[in-house]
Amino acid sequence: MKIGIAADHGGYEFKNHILDYLKDHNYKVTDYGAFVYDEADDYPDFIIPLAEAVSKKEIEKGIAICGSGVGAAIAANKITGVRASLINEHFSAHQGVEDDDMNVICIGGRVTGVAVAVS
């Protein structure tokens, strides 16, 4: 499965943990940034290219991370063909994919623990 991941400064550290986890589990991952921590960056600069890649089917699923996850979800859902949702726990993640055809999961890097995300 081809997965894309993107985050602004609010999710930068979290993204790197998830990216390492995915690579360690042999997923093919495209990183849409941020590539360095920059407190002045803004989530649409990274989330929109990720969402466009999902829309164009360049990747199958996306992981969009900002501080709360809310902005990432709003930005991603502006792209035709993207079904993004803020997820904070396992049940909604499963239901979102299985019942609602969610193709971008949005996570709050400042509110969701890495242990929850990788389990």
Domain range summary for the chain, segments of one domain joined by +: 2-117
Catalytically annotated residue among 48, 65, 66, 107: 66
Is the pTM value of this prediction over 0.85?
yes
Rounded Cα–Cα distance for residues 36 and 119 (Å): 26
Distance of alpha carbon 61 from its chain centroid, rounded? 9
Establish whether 106 is a catalytic residue: no
Residue-by-residue pLDDT tens, the chain, 119 positions = 899 999 999 999 999 999 999 999 999 999 999 999 999 999 999 999 999 999 999 999 999 999 999 999 999 999 999 999 999 998 999 999 999 999 999 999 999 877 666 66
Superfamily of domain 2-117: Sugar-phosphate isomerase, RpiB/LacA/LacB (3.40.1400.10)
What is the bridge-based pairing of β-strands 2-7 and 61-66?
A: parallel
